Amino acid sequence: MDNLVTLFDHWFDPASLGIVLGGTLLATLLRCGPAEVRLALAKVCALTTKPFDPACAKAEMARQIRGIASEGFVRAEPVHFGDGEFDHLTDVMVSRRSIDTLHGEHDAYKRQRTEAARTAMHVLGQAAELAPVLGLAGTLVALGTMPSDASEGGMTGAIAMAVVTTLYGLAAANFVFSPLSSAIMRRSAREERDRQAVLDWLENGVRKAVPGPRVVASNDVIREAV
């Protein structure tokens, strides 16, 4: 236990941590701008929340399909379950009595989400690029504080700080910012794949729910027969 405490004390340096992390965040803010940094922070926080659940979405959309099958487009009520995109899609589908408009609406949501993910990845990529630079800056600061008389204690402390700041810069880039960027990319790709699968499933289900004389097809738009 004493060895762990000693090791922690040896490698933990608040000044070095402040130079590397504080400097990296400030440099990233200046390079990318407040709006992009806020978006990146929001995406990082979103990684701690529950991802999109396609099974839950299909269960809720099954209610919508049953409603359309039994009541028709005119009398069916939109089914909402708290997902902004699918709540909007069901509103559009029922109000316009059409399922072919869904893909256009979905594409707009997809572009917005994809652009946000790319922006967050860009910001984190900039931070990963800047962290080692700030680690080097901390090293120069540490060497610059070395006493002119080059006493043994002062030299040892300056060299230790130089090593720690370099380590912090490399660790922040490769164990914090880059992994977060990759995690956002994986979450975004998985969510878009799952949402597309649910949308395709919903479209096929609605087409089967309103077959034959109950609907007519014209210019690829399905409307309830008058």
> Does the pLDDT of residue 218 top 70, yes or no?
no
- pLDDT at position 140: 85
Between these two residues, 68 and 145, which has the higher pLDDT value?
Answer: 68
Residue 224: strand pairing partners: 215
- pLDDT at position 65: 92
Mean pLDDT of the chain: 85
Pairing type for strands 221-224 and 215-218 reads antiparallel
Query: Which of 44-58, 86-100, 134-148 shows the lowest mean pLDDT across its residues?
Result: 134-148
> Does the pLDDT of residue 5 top 70, yes or no?
no
Compute φ and ψ for 211, nearest 5 degrees.
Answer: -85, 180
Q: Flag whether the pTM goes above 0.85.
A: no
Q: What are the residue boundaries of the structural domains of the chain, listed by start?
A: 23-224
Q: Residue 71: pLDDT band by 50, 70, 90 thresholds?
A: confident
Query: Which of 71-75, 106-110, 143-147 shows the lowest mean pLDDT across its residues?
Result: 143-147
> Does the pLDDT of residue 217 top 50, yes or no?
no
